[in-house]
Structure 1
Amino acid sequence: MEENTITWLTHTVTYITLFYISFVIAKLFFKLKNRKINIENELTIKDNVAFAVTATGYFIGTTIIFLGVLHGESHGLLTDVILILFYSIFGNFLLILSSIINEKIVFGKKFKFYREVILDENVGTGFIEAANFIGSGLIIFGAISGRNINLFPEHGELGHYTSDFLSLLFFWALGQIIIFTFLKVYKKVVSYDFIKEIQKDNNAIGIVYASILISVAFLYSFASKGDIDSWETTLEDIAYHLGLAIILLPLSRLFIEKVILPKSNLTKEIVNQEIPNKGVALLEAFAYIGSAIIISFCM
């Protein structure tokens, strides 16, 4: 077997092994966050779909973080191993922190995720919590998928790694602020009480809200990913992507309503029916997420 083949095989097996290790780390963090919950009982005895959706979203988020480390150029196998393990641990910490921010700040004290997901088994809330984990994973992906400008050149490569870490903290914090702002505006714009609809087990609203969160996070991640040659340019790219999102996401919803369902009203289908229309909610979710992908690849 040629040396290049042996090297490739060694790297591949190492990265796959690290993925499973990162998954174990993610499980430990997830158990820590849900330490008051019997996870296996919720998933296998109670068959709690809402909690299963939440857990799936969490593990998707951790997978996205893992891919973020692999996305950049290799720093050598040993350094790659250290970086993957470090960001697997710290990335999971940020996912948990993002979830707490979402629960305490975005939704407020009256809305309890534990009550909605565990006691009420509210699938719509499960979608929102899962989207929060996926969105935060995307934000972290963008922040760690490239290299920052070395803010401490006198410290050589150590200064570069420190700069990358500070860049992660900055873009994660900025991403939380942007998502918080978008969703606050969304709650003000819609003609219904979003929180009350979720508490009424309106899964359709949960699907729509989750899709908006993921769409905004995807756009932000796409604009911030890669090497940072200029902070000004990167922040401008973020502003351009999100500016288009403000214009095109609502237009995409209007397109679905006027072209695909010209005789129907999306809000009435999702909110003003005895049984909210989850199928229509999926179409609206496609409009948001599809638009986010198109915006990103067209810029």
Structure 2
Amino acid sequence: MFENAFDFSALSDLADLRVAVYLIVAAAILWLAKAINQACAGYSLNDQLTKHDNKAVAVSFAGFLFSLCLVIHGILTAPASLKVLEADENAWLIDLGSTAAWAGIACVLLLISRIFNDKVLFPKFSNKKELVTDKNIGMGAAQAGSYIATALVIRAVLGDEESGSFIAELGAAVVWFVITQILLFVFCFIYQKCTRFDLHAEIERDNAAAGVALGGSLIAFGLLLEFFVKRYDSIGSLVVWGIVAAVLLIITRCVVDKILLPGAHLDDEIHKDQNWGAALIEVSTAVGVALLIQGSFF
């Protein structure tokens, strides 16, 4: 240990110009993604974020950008990508193009997930109205959670060395994406059935606590789906695991209610008091349990 404590040769890797090129390309991708997001959203992001100080749009857009960064990180750290970078000095240019292409695909899938979020997860109201007109932070948090959960699964299938080709990898990504969206709906359905309040009604009445709790729980659920997709390729097993994961997170919610918040009902704190602090406790515990479950299998 510390045998090379004063060896500075590792710093040469940090001076690699390819790193700077990747960062420039990533910045360009994020800028382009913002433009595409704005075009599809039907409102000006700049106006909402600056002129109107719309924090609901800010939370949603932050979730979108973070999701895209998660996918780009998954591409860059995939085993297949690392092998390409080590192959020869020009092979990284091909990988750079692949990174840009996959980031574009991920952007499209995330925007599709927003439509799914609007039409399927929350069909009783318009997400755009809640974000722009009502400045509903709860809606922004729920949408951000949906973005991140989707991105976790997308990045799990990227860079698969056994996929064989770009087309095969794209096909796998689309299949897992569709299944994931269905499982997100199933999770929301189970979550709603296990709460003592109307989740849709609470989010529609600008209850930030309800949106934060759901958005964070979706992220925890996405972590559990990501873990399974990385290790296995059985669609049937993923469906079963999705239901098991949902039950585990509901049990976690009960633990938060009975042990971490004794003397108070979590549902009352979220529904009646709109206590987003209690919602954060639920979220941190759910995400923590998801990470612990992931770690237990390694």
Please give the TM-score of this superposition, normalised by the length of structure 1. Answer: 0.86
SS state at 1:264 partner:
coil
Cα distance in 1, alignment partners of residues 281 and 159 from structure 2: 31
SS state at 2:16 partner:
helix
Q: Does 1:206 align with 2:172?
A: no
Cα distance in 2, alignment partners of residues 126 and 178 from structure 1: 20
What is the aligned counterpart of 1:104 among 92, 104, 119?
119
Question: Displacement of 1:99 after TM fit?
Answer: 0.5
What is the aligned counterpart of 1:45 among 51, 72, 75?
51
Cα distance in 2, alignment partners of residues 105 and 243 from structure 1: 18
Specify every segment of 5 or more residues in structure 2 that has no aligned partner in the other structure, as ranges.
1-8, 85-90
Query: Identity of aligned pairs, percent?
Result: 25
Specify every segment of 5 or more residues in structure 1 that has no aligned partner in the other structure, as ranges.
151-159
Q: Does 1:26 align with 2:33?
A: yes
**One-letter amino acid of the structure 2 residue matched with residue 140 of structure 1:** I
Write out aligned runs for 1:82-161 (5 A). Answer: 82-108=97-123, 110-150=124-164, 160-161=165-166
Across the two proteins, how many residue pairs are aligned to each other?
279
| Other-structure match for 1:81 | 96
SS state at 2:125 partner:
coil
Alignment CA distance shift 1:239-1:103 (3 Å): closer
What is the aligned counterpart of 2:21 among 14, 31, 36?
14
Question: Displacement of 1:185 after TM fit?
Answer: 2.1
Assess if the C-alpha contact under 8 Å between 2:71 and 2:152 holds in 1.
yes
| Other-structure match for 1:62 | 68
| Other-structure match for 1:217 | 222
Alignment CA distance shift 1:235-1:148 (3 Å): farther
Please give the TM-score of this superposition, normalised by the length of structure 2. Answer: 0.86
> After the TM superposition, which of the residue ranges 250-259 and 123-132 deviates more from structure 2?
250-259
SS state at 2:196 partner:
coil
Question: Displacement of 1:243 after TM fit?
Answer: 5.0
| Other-structure match for 2:4 | none
Write out aligned runs for 1:236-247 (5 A). Answer: 236=237, 238=238, 241-242=241-242, 244-247=244-247
| Other-structure match for 2:277 | 279
SS state at 1:225 partner:
helix
SS state at 1:231 partner:
coil
Assess if the C-alpha contact under 8 Å between 1:62 and 1:137 holds in 2.
yes
| Other-structure match for 2:192 | 187
SS state at 2:264 partner:
coil
| Other-structure match for 1:154 | none
Cα distance in 2, alignment partners of residues 147 and 28 from structure 1: 32
Assess if the C-alpha contact under 8 Å between 2:70 and 2:151 holds in 1.
yes
